[in-house]
Amino acid sequence: MKKVFAILCTVLTIALMLTGCGGQKAENHYTIGIGQFGPHGSLDNCREGFLLGLAEEGIVEGENLTVKYQNANFDGSTTNTIAQAFVSDKVDLICAIATPMAQAAYNAAEGSDIPVVFTAITDVELAGLTEGNITGTSDMLPVEDQLKLIRAMMPDAKRIGILYTTSESNSISTIATYKELAPDYGFEIVDTGVATQADVPLAVDNLVTKVDCISNLTDNTVVGALPVILDAAGEKNIPVFGSEIEQVKLGCVAAEGLDYIDLGKQTGRMAAKVLKGEAKASEIPYEVLKESQLTINSDVMAELNLTLPEDMMSRATDVAQ
């Protein structure tokens, strides 16, 4: 009885795995796998934008496109399993959102001819993903534009505080860019690293005593704890500059950042080219979103008594309206 039970379990598991394999292909019907590293506003926007970009090129979900979507919930070993599942399902293309997912997809897809299109990777070279059957878009922040914005809003400020997570390599390379460019605008960067979200309250309480303003990166953990940062900074009347429109909606004073939906659309258009066979992923170099988008929150600006020169106001989107 017990032997049977054990053997039954083993057979059942193998059978379950086999049923997962295999798939059909109809003429000009595409099946893609979208792997997202974790649930997070910007990454969700990337995914939405990606599907919109594909639709612009005539590849629409439900009509000629089947989408298999998996979210790894910020777990590294799950990214590997998701990538392997996509490869064994023989999808036509893998869209990988965020660095660990892209690396797992690149690793799993090597040896097959499934192209990988990534998005939301800040430093593509650091991630080692420039060669091979892989391409995509980078969300490298327009650091220089952000510094100009901060200088325009706060003519006397000297120190910019940046909070980041030690496990995010993207944050580390963006901070390096900040430190390189900041002296040109008369700023000094004070950075504090945290290991987990739980460390944020203490770190930010400490940071606000040392700086004139805070600037955000695309750091997943820190952005997840944004309300805490806004509270602590608000008490000391320290403005917080965001990196994306969702952050400004939450209470950041302004952001010279990326529209992740646009980034996703650009990625979707690249993916459509690869799916239709117009180009190979290995031939397309990765792209960076060139236009940054200026967003402001006029309510917060009024509270903090900050103003912006007219030429910048005219191209800004105000989330408070």
Partner 1 sequence: MDLIIGTLEQGLIYAILALGVYITYKILDFPDLTADGSFPLGAAITATMISNGGNPVLAMGVSLLAGAAAGLVTGLIHVKCRVRDLLSGIITMTALYSINLHIAGMSNVPLFGMTTLFKNGFVDGVFGGGLAPYKTLIIVLAVAMIGKLLMDLFLKTKAGYLLRAVGDNDAVVTSLARDKGTVKIMGLAIANGLIALSGSVMCQQQRFFEIQMGTGAIVIGLASVIIGINLFRRLTFIKATTAVVLGSILYKGCVAAAISFGMSANDMKLVTAVLFLVILIAGNWMDRKGEPA
- The token duo for 22 is 């295999």
One of 67, 126, 228, 313 touching partner 1 (CB under 8 A): 126
Distance CA 60, CA 47 (A): 14
Query: Residue count at the site for partner 1 (CB under 8 A)?
Result: 54
Alpha carbons 213 and 238: distance in angstroms, whole number: 5
Residue 129 binds partner 1 (CB under 8 A)? yes
Segment near partner 1 (CB under 8 A), from 120-128, 139-147, 201-209, 258-266?
Answer: 120-128
Considering beta carbons, is residue 76 or 186 the nearer one to partner 1? Answer: 76
Of the ranges 76-84, 144-152, 180-188, 284-292, which one interacts with partner 1 (CB under 8 A)? 76-84
Q: CA–CA separation, 20 vs 45, rounded Å?
A: 29
Task: Write the CA distances from 216 to 19, 33, 146, 167, 192, integer angstroms.
Answer: 46, 31, 10, 16, 12
For partner 1, the binding residue among 66, 107, 192, 197 (CB under 8 A) is: 107
113 in contact with partner 1 (CB under 8 A): no
Q: How many CB atoms lie within 10 A of CB 222?
A: 24
When binding is defined by CB under 8 A, the residue of 65, 116, 120, 127 that contacts partner 1 is: 127
219 binds partner 1 per the rule CB under 8 A: no
Question: In whole angstroms, what is the distance from residue 49 CA to residue 189 CA?
Answer: 33
| Residue appearing with tokens 């309480």 | 205
Shorter beta-carbon distance to partner 1: residue 16 or 26: 16
- For position 59 contacting partner 1 by CB under 8 A, the verdict is no
71 binds partner 1 (CB under 8 A): yes
**CA–CA separation, 4 vs 263, rounded Å?**
54
**Residue numbers 5-34 binding partner 1 by CB under 8 A:** 5-6, 9-10, 13-14, 16-21
Q: Which of 32, 87, 105, 308 binds partner 1 (CB under 8 A)?
A: 87
Q: What angle do CA 9, 12, 18 make, to 5 degrees?
A: 145
Decide whether 111 or 277 has the Cβ nearer to partner 1: 111
Q: Which residue is it, tokens 């967003």?
A: 295
